[in-house]
Each structure stands twice: as C-alpha cells, then as structure tokens.
Structure 1
Amino acid sequence: MTSRRAELATFLRSRRARLRPVEVGLPEGLRRRTPGLRRQEVAQLAGISVDYYVRLEQGRGAHPSGQVLAALARALLLSRDEREYLFRLAGQGPPPVAGPSAVVAPGVRHLIDAMTETPAYLADARYDVLAWNRLAGHFVGDLPPGDRNMIRWWFRQEASVPWTDTETLRFARDSVADLRAAYGRYPGDRELAELVTELLGVSPRFAALWAEHDVATRRPVVKRVAHPELGPLEFECRVLLVPESDQRLIVYTAAPGSPTREVFRRLGERITG
C-alpha cells in the first residue's frame, strides 16, 4: 500500500466514523458496535458498490475517478478544505467551485454588528457587498440596491479618483489583483466574467491594471477620505479573509487618539444611543 493510498484510506475511515446516521438522513438503528456510518451506508449514499468502497478503505484497487470522489465528498459531508484534500490524496486537482458564496454565516453577521465603533462590511470574491454594520452604512450604504459591487463602483468613478496618491493606487492595484485571483478560482462563474468584460470596456485604468496580470490577495492600505458628512478621515482599510466562504471582511480601523477615531466613536454612540 503506497503512502498516498494509505492516507486516503485512513482519511475515508476517519470521516465515516465522525458522522451520525441522522446527519445524512438515515435512521440511528440499533446494535451499532462502532461509531459513525457503516461502509455499506457510505457506498449507498455515494452510489458506488460496497465492494469498491471497502477496497478504497483498505488502500486497494484502482484510483477513484473525479466523479467517485465528488460523490464521496457529498456522502461524507466534507467541507471545502476536506474535499480539496480528498482529491489531492487521490492524485487529482479538485474541480472548480461553481461561483463565490453569497451566504452570510450567522457568526460573521454577529461579528459585524458587534463592531459598534468600527465600520465593517462583508463582500464576496466578486466584491459584491453582502452585509454591513450601521457605521459602514456611511460608506457603502448609498450603493445602488441592485448593484452593490465595490470594484464596479470604484472604477466607474475613476475620473474623480486621486491616482497620484500612492495608497490609492496600491488599493486599486491590490483590488484588481485579488479579483484576478478569484477569476482563476471560479472559471465557470458568469457574473464574474461579465464584470471583468464590462470594466475592460469602460475603464482604461482597470484595463491597464488587469493587463499587468498581478495575482494576489488584499493587503491593508491607508485611506484618506473627504466624507461629505463626517469631514476628512484617515484610517487603515484592512481586509480579513473568511476562509470557509472565500469572503472578505473589510474593516476601517482608525489609530487610537486620532481625530478619525473620535469621529467613529461619537458616531457609534449616536447610533447605539
């Protein structure tokens, strides 16, 4: 048994053992001598023969196909990371995920709302804004209801953007590089492809940055904003990745004791008061 086949066999057994029948729609039943699902139950859920699945758990037989691996991932309720790991153990690249997730996890929603003195909002890999707290409403709340895409909004107003500012240019370059990384992760996503095609046609600045072929995830930048209601603001725009959904939690953090920090504090008190 090769080390890869042995690891695949061990991984399948461990994932099977952690599942309760009720989690996959099966009755608990009686006289279960071992925890988790039986081998025949996994085979039934995956639509493969029991004998074939037994050979996989014993590290024997042919390498499973992508179709079999996908069926096993569904049957064992694997997470995205576990699914990718399963495919790699079998010597295959995992098939691409259809598109960015727009589902806001309750825990992330609670975290955003708990930031009462820090503007925070959540965006998917396309940079469609999915959720924001009341403080962030002063920055993203005026986006059109049917088009809450930050990158489209940014490059559509490129004529008024101070491109001579180093941080502004870095923010734009990092955003485009991150979008290109998503473009590679979701090759079948129609909305992402249409967004890139649209911006290539209407924004010379976007087209120039896209042509650089930079691929990278976002880094923090310092932003200076002349806000029409709040006045001049300076804060760090920090992007935190939510790995399980490939979403971005974007927070505006002001330095302690700074005028911007005081503005955020007073605004938060007014909102919560």
Structure 2
Amino acid sequence: MEPTNHFGIALRGWRERVSPQDGGPETGAVRRIPGLRREELARLAGLSVDYVVRLEQGRARHPSGQVVAALARALRLDPSERDHLFRCARLAPPATGNVSRQVPARVQQLVSRLGDFPTAVFAADWTIVGWNGMWSATIGDPRTYGWDERSLVAGMFRPGGGRARQPIAAWPVLSWAGDEAEEENLVADLRVTAAAHPHDGRLAAFVEHLRRNNSRFARLWSNGTARTQGGDRKTVEHPLVGDIALDLDVLTAAGTDLRVVTYTAEADSADEQKLNTLRATCRPRPASSDTPAAEPDPGGDLGDAEAVRW
C-alpha cells in the first residue's frame, strides 16, 4: 500500500491558503483558483515548477532541509507548521534559539482553571516560571526552595552530597520510583531540550557547570539517555496534613515547549481529603478590585492577579 503523501497534502493546502497578493505584483490579475499557483510558489521558493508539482503529487518524497526551509518561508508558515513540514519530509525541525520563559495568556488561563489542583509552569530547561495557590499550599512557595536561578535541575543536583541532605522543595517530595530514577528522567529530559536549543549559551553554560561540579549529574549526563519527562507518583511529606500520595502529570502546552506540571489525588481517598483541607487554606481570589495589583514577583503565584508579568 502506497504511504500517504503527507508532505504533498500539506504543501498544496498551504499553497491554496496563501493570499495571492503575497506572491508579488504579478499575481494581481483575475484568478480562478484560491491562493498561489504552483509557478508562483516555485518562484518565491527558488525552485522549478516541475519539482513543486512532483512534491505535491508525491513523486518526489525526499526534499532537502534547504528546500523545505525555502517552501516554509514562501508559504509564511508559523513555527509549528514549519516543524510539521519538516517532519512530513522525515527531517528534524530546525533548532530554535534560546529556551523561552514567556507564558502565553492561554497557558495562564489554563493554570488558573486548574486552581483546585497544585499546578506549576516550567520552561523547557525546568526553570519554574509560574504556579498557583494550591501549588504553594501543597509543595510550598517556590521562592523558599533555594533553587539557583529557580531551576529544578539545580535544586535536584545541589552541591554537598546526596539528595537526602536537603529537600528539593519546601519539604520532602519523594518519587515512588526512587531518587536515582527521578534524577535520570530529569537529566534525560534536559538533554532533549539542550539538543533542541544548541545556541542557548545560558543553557550550555549551566550544563557544563553541573558536569564539572556535580558527579551525580555528570554520570547521568554521560549515559546519553534522552526522553521527555512523563508522569510519576509522589509522596509529599506535608508539615500540616502528613504524607499525601499524589499522581504527577507533565503536559506540554500546545505551540510551546512549556511544561505544565500538576498533582492530583485518587478520587474518594484520604489523600484527596488532605488536598481538600489544603485547598481551604488557600487565600480566595477577590471577585473584583478597583486597586491596581502590585507588580508580582516574576514567576509568581498565578492566583494573585489576572494579569501576571512574567
């Protein structure tokens, strides 16, 4: 069975979507078809018309990265569409620049709607950039964690020996898989981010610093494992309600490489009741206010204001 021509389907769909005016002054005549003609796309991308035809029809299936990039520019694709076109060509999407710590409004809204559950947002390098009130109530205020540059990786691989010497968060949060597995998973995820952002000097310097100064990190970094962080099960040793068993889920916000981390408890369990108790301690959000909110600390509590400055 002939494989689906995903590249050609995407190429034709996006070609027909582009406004003819984007093709230059020669495309202003009366037209019988929407979007750009093949010859117009070929001219914009610097390709032959025959090659564009063969790509759309699936007779040419292995375009180079240079060709895909030229087509993406001609079609004015956004980053997610450009990456999709590269994947359709069975090529890795181009590496991006620095790790972004910008949190779109829709992600802020998502975290606000998850207000009943401990939820935080991390950049792709595991810098915490925001959290809600339930996160502070359950895991403690991240501003008290003592993480260098608010990095979970730095917090997990602190100098001075093993993990048992100091809790990662405000109080102990223990993985059921064990410290070693938790550390390996985090380093494997960081390696994926480092490969996707090879030109991020800050990230490269951070990794090199840990390699030189933390033997545990250096050993895990050298094993080459690369995978994105998945879920986990944790025990939170909470100072008010005692131990809480929680499921941790890591979601990637669409169109970003932000990690949305949330904790939930098993329904109708003692752990859920403990979360309910903590929820009652959270300061409720005012219904309205005529007084402008003070500028929050970067990466601050998402429940404190409608518009958070990141």
> For this structure pair, what is the TM-score category when the shorter chain's length is used for normalisation?
0.7 to 0.9
2:77 corresponding residue in structure 1: 78
Q: Deviations over 1:122-165 (max 9, x none)?
A: 21221122332222234453157982211112222733258997
1:135 corresponding residue in structure 2: 134
Deviation at 1:17, TM superposition (A): 1.1
1:207 corresponding residue in structure 2: 218
Q: Given the superposition, is the C-alpha separation of residues 64 and 133 from structure 1 closer, same or farther in structure 2, using an over 3 Å criterion?
A: same
2:103 corresponding residue in structure 1: 104
Q: Alignment partner for residue 58 of structure 1, among 33, 53, 58?
A: 53
Q: What pairs up with 1:38-187 in 2 under 5 angstroms?
A: 38-39=37-38, 42=41, 46=45, 48=46, 52=47, 54-59=49-54, 66-80=65-79, 82-87=81-86, 92-138=91-137, 139=140, 141-142=142-143, 147-156=149-158, 158=163, 159-161=165-167, 166-187=177-198
Which whole-Å CA distance do the structure 2 matches of 1:267 and 1:164 have between them? 21
Which whole-Å CA distance do the structure 2 matches of 1:88 and 1:253 have between them? 34
Say if 2:175 and 2:232, in contact at 8 Å, map to a contact too.
no
Supply the AA of the counterpart residue of 1:56: Y
SS of residue in 2 equivalent to 1:214: coil
SS of residue in 1 equivalent to 2:54: coil
Say if 1:225 and 1:233, in contact at 8 Å, map to a contact too.
yes
Q: Given the superposition, is the C-alpha separation of residues 203 and 25 from structure 1 closer, same or farther in structure 2, using an over 3 Å criterion?
A: farther
Say if 1:174 and 1:218, in contact at 8 Å, map to a contact too.
yes
Which whole-Å CA distance do the structure 1 matches of 2:192 and 2:147 have between them? 26
Supply the AA of the counterpart residue of 1:187: P
Say if 1:69 and 1:87, in contact at 8 Å, map to a contact too.
yes
How high is the TM-score relative to the length of structure 1? 0.76
Say if 2:98 and 2:197, in contact at 8 Å, map to a contact too.
yes
Which whole-Å CA distance do the structure 1 matches of 2:133 and 2:211 have between them? 33
Q: Alignment partner for residue 203 of structure 2, among 179, 192, 200?
A: 192
Which whole-Å CA distance do the structure 2 matches of 1:271 and 1:214 have between them? 42
Which whole-Å CA distance do the structure 2 matches of 1:145 and 1:175 have between them? 15
1:256 aligns with 2:242: no
SS of residue in 1 equivalent to 2:116: coil
Which whole-Å CA distance do the structure 1 matches of 2:82 and 2:183 have between them? 33
Say if 2:120 and 2:132, in contact at 8 Å, map to a contact too.
yes
Structure 2 gaps of 5+ residues are 286-310
Supply the AA of the counterpart residue of 2:249: R
Structure 1 gaps of 5+ residues are none
Aligned residues: 265
Deviation at 1:193, TM superposition (A): 1.4
Pairwise CA RMSD of aligned residues? 3.8
Q: Given the superposition, is the C-alpha separation of residues 103 and 39 from structure 1 closer, same or farther in structure 2, using an over 3 Å criterion?
A: farther
Q: Given the superposition, is the C-alpha separation of residues 179 and 55 from structure 1 closer, same or farther in structure 2, using an over 3 Å criterion?
A: same
1:271 corresponding residue in structure 2: 283
Q: Given the superposition, is the C-alpha separation of residues 34 and 216 from structure 1 closer, same or farther in structure 2, using an over 3 Å criterion?
A: same
Which whole-Å CA distance do the structure 1 matches of 2:153 and 2:264 have between them? 21
Q: Alignment partner for residue 257 of structure 2, among 246, 252, 261?
A: 246
Deviation at 1:253, TM superposition (A): 1.2
SS of residue in 1 equivalent to 2:14: helix
Say if 2:111 and 2:120, in contact at 8 Å, map to a contact too.
yes
Deviation at 1:7, TM superposition (A): 6.2
2:298 corresponding residue in structure 1: none
Structure 1 range deviating more: 188-197 or 69-78? 69-78
Structure 1 range deviating more: 105-114 or 255-264? 255-264
Which whole-Å CA distance do the structure 1 matches of 2:146 and 2:44 have between them? 44
Structure 1 range deviating more: 174-183 or 65-74? 65-74
Structure 1 range deviating more: 140-149 or 246-255? 140-149
Which whole-Å CA distance do the structure 1 matches of 2:283 and 2:66 have between them? 52
